[in-house]
A = this chain, B = another copy of it.
Amino acid sequence: MKLGIQINEGPYQHQASDTAYLFTKAALEKGHEIFRVFFYHDGVNNGTRLTTPPQDDRNIVARWSELAEKYNLDLVICVAAAQRRGIVDPDEKKRHGKDADNIAPGFRISGLGQLIEAGIQCDRLVVFGD
């Protein structure tokens, strides 16, 4: 089956990103296709490479990046939500005159249309949030 995943909360504060990750990994291991993972609301905060979690805990951002690389996942951060919360890629950095970007490897910033498209293209859309 072709799956779309929506994540509404940032890393650590709520379990949503953890559950979404373990669900996505299980789906991939079963041979399902992940069409897209869409990060919305505080979910965009999963896409910053500036985190340094304690060494004895999971690294939520890094394992999304690794999963994306291994399975060629499309990890999309909503641009409007990202602007409110300070998640920036090189394009956004230039566009808004910022002096730094913080997007993690394997993530890209795009519009809400990408979520609607996932709804249209996928057999199922599964939402994780608070």
Contact = CB atoms under 8 A, between A and B. Distances in A.
Contacts of A80: 54
Contacts of A101: 50, 100
Given A10-B10, A13-B41, A45-B45, A51 B86 contact: yes
Q: Do most interface residues of chain A lie in helix, strand or loop, or is the interface mixed? A: loop
Contacts of A85: 10-13, 45, 48, 51
A92 B96 CA distance: 25
A12 B83 CA distance: 11
A51 B48 CA distance: 13
A49 interface: yes
Interface in A1-46: 10-13, 41-42, 45
| Contact-size category for A | 20 to 34
A76 interface: no
A111 interface: no
Given A48-B86, A50-B101, A52-B96, 10 more contacts: A10-B42, A12-B85, A42-B42, A45-B86, A52-B83, A52-B98, A53-B83, A54-B80, A100-B100, A100-B101
Interface of A: 10-13, 41-42, 45, 48-54, 61, 80, 83-88, 92, 96, 98, 100-102
